[in-house]
Amino acid sequence: MSHKHLVEGPRHALVHNLPLIAAGLVVLLMLSVMLAVSIGAVGIPLDLVWSVVLNHLFPGSVEQSWSAGRDNIVWEVRLPRVILGALVGASLALVGSALQSVTRNPLADPHLLGISSGAALGAIIVLLHTGMFLGLVTLPIFAFVGALVTTAIVVGVANFANATNASRLVLTGVAVSFVITSLGSLGIFLGDPRAAHTVIFWMLGGLGLAQWVQLPYPLLALVACGAYLMVNARNFNAMTLGDESATTLGLPAGRFRMVVFIVCAVLTGAAVAFSGIISFVGLMIPHLVRLAVGGDYRRVLPLSALVGAIFLVLADMVARIIIPPLDMPIGIITGLVGGVFFIALMRRNGRLG
C-alpha cells in the first residue's frame, strides 16, 4: 500500500467524524482552561476552581469555604488571562488559515503583512514616549490603531503600484513591514532605556496583563470577523485554485483578497493589542489541521480556531510554570514549539516524497 493511502485512510475517517471531533475539541478546550487556572505558582484544586467560578456566575450557589486570596487568584488573575489566551489563539489561527488561502503562500501568517509590526509601533510609542495618558486602555488602543494604519498603508501602496495579485501584495506587505519595524527600532533607540525592557516583553508576547474589562474587544472581533471568514469558506476553497479559476467560478479574486486582508487586520489588531506579538500560532495551527482533515476550508477554519485556542492556553500554562516565579514570554514557547514542528513536518513530507 502506498504512503498516500496510508495518510488518506485515517484522514478520510476524520472527515466523516467532524461533528464528533469538534465536540471533542470543545470539551478539551474547557478542560484545558480549567487546568490552566488550577496550575501555577500557587496550586488550586480543580474542584475549588469550579466552586469559585460557579459562585461568581451564580452568587450563593456554592457555600464559600475558600480564602479571599484564592478567590482573587482564580477569578481576577488566572481566569481572564486564560480566556484571553483562548481568544488570541483562535484569532491568530483563523487569520493564518485565511491568509494562506488568499495568498496561496504556505508561510503566510498574521505577521506577514506588517499588521503586528504596526501594533508593535503603537505600543512602543505609548510605553516609551507618550505614557498611559488614557489610562490602562492607552496601550491596546495605540496597538490596535497601529495595526489598522499599517494595513491601510499596505492596501494603499498595493493599489498605487497595481499590486493586487497574491505574490505582489505579499511583497508589498513585507516591504511596509520592514519600514514600520525600522520606525519601531528608532522609537526604542530614542526612548528611555530604563523602560525598554517593558517593550521587549510586550514584543515577545504575554497574557499577564489580562483583565475582564478587556475581554469584550477581542471577543467581539473574533465573533464578527470569524463569522465572516467561515461564511466565506467556499470562497477560500476557490482562492486556493488561483485567481483565474476563482474568477471563472464567479468570485472577484482581487476584491475578495483585499476584504480578507482588512478583516484579518482587525482580527489580528484586536488580538495583539492585548497580548503582544505571539509568533507561529497562525503559521503552524492551519498546517496541523489540514494535515488531519484535508484542505476544505469548511473544516479547516472552525477546527483551526479550536486547536489554536487550546494550543495557546496550554502554551501559556507552560510559560507560567517552567521557571517559577518568573513569567516567561509566551512567544518563546510558541517559537520553540513551532520551529520543532516545522522541522518535523519537512522531514515527514520528505519521507512521503
- Per-residue confidence (pLDDT) for residue 269, from 0 to 100: 86
Q: Give the model's confidence band at 8: pLDDT under 50 very low, under 70 low, under 90 confident, else very high.
A: very low
Chain-centre distance for alpha carbon 281: 6
Residue 325 preceded by cis peptide, ω within 30: yes
Alpha carbons 188 and 57: distance in angstroms, whole number: 43
pTM over 0.85: yes
The domain segmentation of the chain, as residue ranges, is: 3-351
Please list, residue by residue across 170-196, b when 16 or more beta carbons sit within 10 angstroms of its beta carbon and e when fewer do.
bebbeebbeebbeebeebbeebeeeee
pLDDT digits (tens, 9 = 90+) for 158-190: 877 776 667 777 788 888 889 998 998 898 888
- Top CATH class of 3-351 equals mainly alpha
Would you say 284 and 341 are in contact if contact means Cβ atoms under 8 Å apart? yes
Among left, alpha and beta (phi > 0; psi -120 to 50; other), residue 294 is: left
Q: How far is CA 56 from CA 47, 64, 83, 194, 296, in A?
A: 14, 11, 16, 40, 41
Q: Give the model's confidence band at 136: pLDDT under 50 very low, under 70 low, under 90 confident, else very high.
A: confident
Type and span of the H or E element at 43: none
pLDDT digits (tens, 9 = 90+) for 27-70: 999 999 999 999 988 888 998 999 999 989 988 888 888 888 88
Please name which of 282, 256, 277 lies closest in space to residue 207, comparing C-alpha atoms: 277
Mean pLDDT of the chain: 86
Would you say 84 and 148 are in contact if contact means Cβ atoms under 8 Å apart? no
- Per-residue confidence (pLDDT) for residue 210, from 0 to 100: 87
238 pLDDT higher than 90: yes
Please list, residue by residue across 70-87, b when 16 or more beta carbons sit within 10 angstroms of its beta carbon and e when fewer do.
ebebbbebbbbbbbbbbb
Write out the three cell numbers for 190: 530614542
pLDDT digits (tens, 9 = 90+) for 310-327: 999 999 999 988 887 778
Would you say 93 and 304 are in contact if contact means Cβ atoms under 8 Å apart? yes
Alpha carbons 311 and 334: distance in angstroms, whole number: 9
Least confident stretch, 119-128, 134-143, 313-322: 134-143
Write out the three cell numbers for 38: 488550577
- Per-residue confidence (pLDDT) for residue 105, from 0 to 100: 82
- Per-residue confidence (pLDDT) for residue 195, from 0 to 100: 76
